[in-house]
Chain A
Amino acid sequence: MTERYDVVVVGAGPCGSRAALEAAERGCDVLVLEKGAEIGVPKQCAEGISHQGLEDAGIEPRDEWISQEIESFTIFAPNGEELHVIPPDGGYVLERKLFDKWLAAEAAKAGAEIRVNSPVIDVVKEEGRVKGVVVDTPSGPEVVEAEVVIAADGIESRVARAAGLAEPLDPDDMCTCAQYEMVGVDLEDEHSLYFFVDLEWFPGGYFWIFPKSGGRANVGLGIRGTESDPGRAKEILDRAIEEHPVISELVGEAKVLELNVGGVPVSGPIERTYDDGIMVVGDAARQVNPLTGGGLHSGMVCARIAGEVAAEAVEEGDASASVLKRYEKEWRKELKRYDFLKEVCETLRKMDNEALNRLAEALDDETLMAIVSGKGRKKALMRLAKELKSDPSSVSKFGSLLIKYVMKTGW
């Protein structure tokens, strides 16, 4: 007999588990299908999230999966100029292996079934409506039926593609990333996230050092797919650790514990994340901050909403697109600033190192403080924008963009 659940979630990453937890808590019969043999590995993440991010995702922080408290950002311009930013809200570097497992366990405690080693290879459609999924099992393909399928299967978006909701990513809309988890990292401030921007070293991306407990850190970079060559992400990682004037000082003597690789979608979300019987969440829906490449905060917020809407659909006995579109309406409100961030990102990557240095120079402490605190932000942004706009370097384009947005949004 064919198995049947109210909600089938594909993928037990943080978004899949968050959606499963929400739907199970609201009384649905939930099954989570994870392709891997173990939840939480391999890590494909720099593991940072703000306090606000966890709160928005509806998750109480717990010592068992917090690796490091974060209080500031340290950003290095190409010329080595250092910006220190203390946002009003701090954050954490997580231990994703423990966090992912904990979150899946929470979903299980709320009643969700979890199956590992269970890749989903297709969706089942009837008269255009998604009715379930096909799982690859040792005894062959098996169908599991569902009122609602939640696709949280990561960057490949296999399930969303099968449902006709996603196309392949443009290589220019993906960052290809390589990261080591290292030990013996010598940071001046182990409560700061370090960022290095340099369009020659890290084209279309950046390099990061995110400190963890016990002298460990995630040390990695992303570059655009269009700027990549076979193996280039890892090559630049190795070379930066050896030769980059600042990075080599900080991690040149550190030792490698892990190599993590992966792609990050920076296109902004797919056009439509729902259809009859299906919702798409997280990396699969490209719900990723297009400037930072961060997807934990945005993905889990969207997943929580998907879990909520799935439960409503089950309750109402109607999982048609007309009900599930509530999900899209809600998450678009949450991520509405992403259009702007994408434009910021595209403007920055078309500049050159000289312009980035100029930007870093213009961002004095007073201006930075006003921007991050919100106190006097509009005035500070306008002053900055006007200064940049009249600059002879390509940073003037960034000035124009800022003026446009400050006028439009009234910041």
Chain B
Amino acid sequence: MHEMGIVLHLAKTLDQTAADEKIIKIGRVTLQVGEVSGIMTDLFCDCWNYFKVRHPVLSDSTLQIETMPAVTFCDNCKKEYGTVEHGRQCPFCGSYETWLITGNQCVIKEIEAMTEDDVAQSDKTE
């Protein structure tokens, strides 16, 4: 159940960003989650919905998760292949001298945000 721990940190990171950037409300939060990051996305969203109401800045936010493919590189034949399909052993030459290039990341790509300045400007136009 490490999704709960990760969600806690995501909320904390976004709270900090909100304080730094004078953000009042956060809308859509876009995450990039690797195929082999070990995060169960539906469980992650459940945890998020449970936690977000406890953070005023995040209470109306929605989570959008982009799944990123996992790619492994073979040191022996210098080819790349899909990690999920083939695992540690290279499907081209059978070598185990392989390493993950990408696919275990868990990144906040971008957030949709309303800042104090946005509110001040919209007040002016009204």
A binds B: no
Q: Which residues of B contact A (CB under 8 A)?
A: none
Q: Which residues of A contact B (CB under 8 A)?
A: none
